[in-house]
Structure 1
């Protein structure tokens, strides 16, 4: 197997190229500019040619560091994971607060970079990136501190992450639609209420439910719904530990 070959197509399995002279662009410069482009204009705007233009370089300079657009996305996704905050758990009794902090941080990262939800199922081995590996190890430590054995701690992490990703995906889609517009989320929701209420006339529970939400701040409602679901997920995990905590059986 040559130096440029890898067992699986990923930037993390291909050795970084070395050259005597300093490359015109660094990997860090490329990732930083790609992240700005993605945050500003979304995933559809990202191309090697477009990125090269923003960097003042030809696409071949970028290809020195990444073989293709997929590898570039792997790098950018891993860079975004560096923004997550996973609290340390010095007292095992604090594991749940740490899990909440981690989940909230994960959600915040996704909502700051809503384009992520469209690529997370396509990034291949992006989970081998150094930032993701570090965050995964720290999240495992949170659930180990709670009393879970390592394998079940991994299952607990995946359960919480699946909840956060599932919830944040719909939020990110909505925020993406609003991006660049002059109207706020609240303005859009208020304009939709008449149609929603008319559609709910034949459905008494929905009609009553909509009445309870009328006039409220939709962002606040999203926060409350996220918190409710997260607490119920953690209730289930805590039940595995038993009333006194300790190892899950």
Structure 2
């Protein structure tokens, strides 16, 4: 009972980006008076380099093998020396998540059309570019998608991207009350699409196969199982990659069609709202 009550009083972790954030599980680490230097280079170790190496390890080995000890070994320092720069492994994961958001292409901010609610005719192309960049984050870094929601994701790169999305949505000509729904429709779709794609790419890499080889292997196995083959046939899903020559071509087509439908839906909503306005 005492242990349970003690756990209940532990402060929730907030974010590495917030000053004075509570420490996870109350752990405290004694920091040296001066930051440690990487082996052979007294100026090489800083939080940016630690984050870059963390991302590289996460890409290569996944989050399951990622640890402070493994990172320290890669950097050529002791594990305890990392605590001069970060408090916990969670801090490193949050820093790494924001780092990969920095790879997304963000357009230069543009003014909202006047009067407020007017439509910028370029918004579909801008939205598509942001959606493609968002997708690439999860395809290139499959470990990143499970961290969305686990952390606040309020770092500078993620905030820059979020602000760009909101800027484009404000130029769609939608009423303010439906703008958040438009963001959810597009970017929750992209999150799901990119997450599944990224995990598939990782699975193929782990198997030592190309995406097309893995697809043919999987579909061939399904074709050999009468029950599975019947289930796929009942949904109208052909065994071949749905008329495309490669898995990547199939995926690009599906992504573009889905975005077309979402853009058309947003446009229809905008027109409907404009028609209802006296």
Structure 1, unaligned stretches of length 5 or more? 1-5
Query: Which one of 220, 242, 249 corresponds to residue 271 of structure 2?
Result: 242
Query: Which one of 130, 135, 141 corresponds to residue 167 of structure 2?
Result: 141
Query: Which one of 68, 71, 92 corresponds to residue 51 of structure 1?
Result: 71
- The answer (yes or no) to whether the contact 1:92–1:146 under 8 Å persists in 2 is yes
1:233 counterpart residue number: 262
Q: Give the secondary structure class of the aligned counterpart of 1:43.
A: coil
Query: Which one of 127, 142, 146 corresponds to residue 118 of structure 1?
Result: 146
2:26 counterpart residue number: none
Once structures 1 and 2 are overlaid, which stretch shifts more, 144-153 or 176-185? 144-153
Residue 82 of structure 1, CA deviation? 0.9
Give the alignment of 1:61-72 within 5 angstroms: 61-72=81-92
Query: Which one of 89, 93, 97 corresponds to residue 125 of structure 2?
Result: 97
1:11 counterpart residue number: 16
- The answer (yes or no) to whether the contact 2:72–2:78 under 8 Å persists in 1 is yes
Give distance in 2, aligned partners of 1:177 and 1:212.
18
TM-score (norm 1): 0.84
Give distance in 2, aligned partners of 1:248 and 1:83.
40
1:210 correspondence with 2:234 = no
Structure 2, unaligned stretches of length 5 or more? 1-10, 22-30, 38-44, 111-118
Once structures 1 and 2 are overlaid, which stretch shifts more, 95-104 or 18-27? 18-27
Relative to its length, the structure with more helix (as a share) is 1
Give the CA RMSD over aligned residues: 3.1
Give the alignment of 1:70-219 within 5 angstroms: 70-88=90-108, 92-123=120-151, 125=152, 127-150=153-176, 152-198=178-224, 199-201=228-230, 204-206=233-235, 209-210=238-239, 213=242, 216-219=245-248
- The answer (yes or no) to whether the contact 2:241–2:250 under 8 Å persists in 1 is no
Instruction: Go from structure 1 to structure 2 and tell me whether the alpha carbon gap of 1:175 and 1:221 turns closer, same or farther (over 3 Å shift).
Output: same
Residue 14 of structure 1, CA deviation? 2.8
Instruction: Go from structure 1 to structure 2 and tell me whether the alpha carbon gap of 1:144 and 1:208 turns closer, same or farther (over 3 Å shift).
Output: closer
1:3 counterpart residue number: none
Once structures 1 and 2 are overlaid, which stretch shifts more, 109-118 or 74-83? 109-118
Residue 121 of structure 1, CA deviation? 3.1
Residue 101 of structure 1, CA deviation? 0.7
Larger Rg: 2
Aligned residues: 241
- The answer (yes or no) to whether the contact 1:110–1:172 under 8 Å persists in 2 is yes
1:213-245: per-residue Cα shift (whole Å, max 9, x none)?
A: 377311111111111112212222222211696
